[in-house]
Amino acid sequence: MPSSLIVYFDYKSPYAFVAKMPIYQLEKDFELEVEWRPYSLCIPDFLGTVDVEENGKIVGGTRNEHQWRRTRYLYMDARRLATDTGQDLMIKGPARVYESRTAHIGTLYAQKQGIFRVYHDLVFDRFWKRKLDIDDVDAVAAIIAEVGGDAAAFEVYFAGEGQRDHDTVIEQANEIGIFGVPSFVLNGELFWGNEHLPSVRNRLSA
C-alpha cells in the first residue's frame, strides 16, 4: 500500500518555509503525493502578543522574556538551517504577528483550482521577502490571479465556503494533536519539526 503523508504548514513559519524544498524532494524520491494542509498557528497562544506602531516600534504586548529569547532563536536557527541545507532563502524578520488565515484560505482555493504548487511557492517566497501581506485579502487575490486563478471567484470563496473549509482543516488538525509546523503525519504517526524529516525518510525507505 502506498504511504500517505500529510504535511501541515503555515506561511508565517520560517521553519515551514525551510522544510518546503526537502518535502518536494521526498515527493520526488518516493513518488508520493503529499497532502498539504494549512495550519494557522495562533502565535499569541505560545509566543505572546507584540504591539507594534506603524514605524515598527514595539509599544507593548504580552510576550515574556522567555518567549522573546525563543522567537529570536527561531529566526536565527531557521536561517542557519536554510544555509545548512543548501537553500538560498531570504528570511526577513517579521514586521508584526501575522495570522495567515487569509493566505491559507487561498491555499484551499488554489488546491481546488489545480494551481496549488505555483501559489504555494509564490506566497512563501514573497512573504519572506516582506513583499506580500498574507492577511490582506486583496493581496492574496492578486496572487491567485498571477498564478492563473480567478481573483473574483476567490473573493467569493473567501467570504463564505473558504472560512468554513479552513476551520474544518484546523479542527481536524487539532484533533490529530497538531500544535506546530511543519508537522508530518505519516501513515497515522505524528512528527513535529524539520528535524524529523530524516525519520520520515527512513520510514519511507523501509
N- to C-terminal Cα distance for the chain? 13
Contacts of 32 (CB under 8 A, 6+ apart): 2, 3, 5, 26, 204
12 to 31: interface string for other proteins, x by CB under 8 A: --------------------
203 touching other proteins, by CB under 8 A:
no
Q: Is residue 49 near other proteins by the rule CB under 8 A?
A: no
146 binds other proteins (CB under 8 A): no
Site string for other proteins, 147-186 (x = CB under 8 A): ---------------------------x--xxxx------
For 185, counting Cβ atoms within 10 Å of its Cβ (0-12 exposed, 13-18 middle, 19+ buried), the class is buried
In this chain, which of 65, 86, 160, 188 binds other proteins, going by CB under 8 A? Answer: 65
Element (H, E) at 58: strand 58-60
Q: Which residues pair with 6 in a beta bridge?
A: 35, 185
Q: Which residues of this protein are in contact with other proteins, per CB under 8 A? A: 42, 45-46, 64-67, 69-70, 72-73, 76-77, 80, 84, 174, 177-180, 190-193, 195
